[in-house]
Amino acid sequence: MQERVVVTGMGAITPLGHTVHETWGNIVEGVSGVGPITLINTSDYLIKIASEVKHFDPEKYMPAREARRLDRYEQFAIVATNEAMKQSGFEITEENSSRVGIVLSTAIGGLTSLQDGVATMLNQGGRRVSPFVIPMMMPNGAAGNLSILYGARGPSYCVATACASGTDALGTALMMLRAGVIDVAIAGASESTICDIGLVAFDRLGALSRRNDDYSMTPQPFDLNRDGLVMAEGAAILILERESHARARGAEILAELAGHASTADAFHITAPAEDGSGGALAMKLAMQNAGVNPDEVDYVNAHGTATPLNDVMETKAIKTAFGDYAYKVPVSSTKSMTGHMMGATGALEAIFCVLAIRDRVLPPTMHYQTPDPACDLDYVPNEARQMDVDIAVSNSFGFGGHNGVIVMRKYQ
């Protein structure tokens, strides 16, 4: 029988707060992180809104010299990991360092640093380009920096599966822990792509909401009038351990990461498979991996991006995976409040599943006004719901046809 894997620490920095506690408090209250963009000048762009991490000063968390050599997404990863490690109470030593792994993912990496480096080269010449552009832009930069910072000498990975990256980071760590390769994993994801090229490129895809003047009501997952996602940024980290390791050191166990599955649509580079078959298969396999029947699931945290195609596809996928029980299981999209944190979003939503189990509350889908006949499930509209939660499923679907699903279970 394979050993169980448990959560012993969580950390986050998001548009709704600089800690898990602050973020979750705003989620339960239905607070939105969406607002006018302040990080860049949007006067020439059609998109004026995003979900930014507010009032972030990296020098509160790290020396100024170190902060200047890190991309914003790397800074976020360090902040979230510090919180998660503190909660876990786990200390990395020379003796255990080779048994600690890192799976710190991102969809895109240091896009702002790459953009700024190119601009410097074109405007000022190659001699003015910073020697830190490469380590600041590379997707594995955050994982490498965490390894150095904490002295973790086990496997260190960056899993890049677009917006499924955070979920697949947890799944990769789960496999390593179950296989006995490591005893502890620092796992999650970080993202910061609210820059000129990030904003314009996603808008050119037709993915973004353009409700600049009415941003208090966007995004609208599963609503008939949804018009796209809102870009967001932030990081979320979970400390995962083999159950025997956590119990031996007397750690507080927050939940069990019970299962994971990953599939590919093999359909289109940006659009999801219209019938939801890839997402449905991932849900089925994740539940099988966890030893859970569909009718045992108490809550589904949806990918729920508020794009016209995704929400219909995901509704179909849930119906296929859960059968008639799909109409009984509550489903909600926390992206209605956080916005879409791209690669980091799945890791954050995993934390929300842990907290839903702990606090016996389902986060709402905000801004839900007009039902869509093609989206006819229980989306926990506009208000958190008190409910016992023993098992939660979290969905993440990404460009390239990547589907990642995890199952969180109450630890007993």
Residues carrying an active site annotation: 163, 303, 340
DSSP state of 127: G
The answer to whether the beta carbons of residues 221 and 137 sit under 8 Å apart is no
Residue whose structure tokens are 């839903």: 356
Give the residue from 312, 234, 236, 248 showing the smallest Cα distance to 279: 312
Catalogue the long-range contacts made by 271-275 (C-beta closer than 8 Å, 24 or more residues apart).
271/309, 272/309, 272/310, 272/313, 272/314, 272/397, 272/401, 273/313, 273/401, 274/309, 274/313, 275/313, 275/316, 275/320
Task: Fill in the amino acid letter for 5.
Answer: V
Q: In this structure, how many other beta carbons lie within 10 angstroms of the beta carbon of residue 4?
A: 18
* CA dist., res. 187 & res. 11, Å (int): 10
Strand 331-332 and strand 299-301: pairing?
parallel
* CA dist., res. 199 & res. 5, Å (int): 38
SS3 375: strand
Strand 184-191 and strand 100-105: pairing?
parallel
Question: Residue 1 contacts by C-beta under 8 Å, 6 or more apart in sequence?
Answer: none
The answer to whether the beta carbons of residues 404 and 282 sit under 8 Å apart is yes
Where do the DSSP E strands lie in 117-205? 156-157, 184-191
Task: Fill in the amino acid letter for 250.
Answer: G
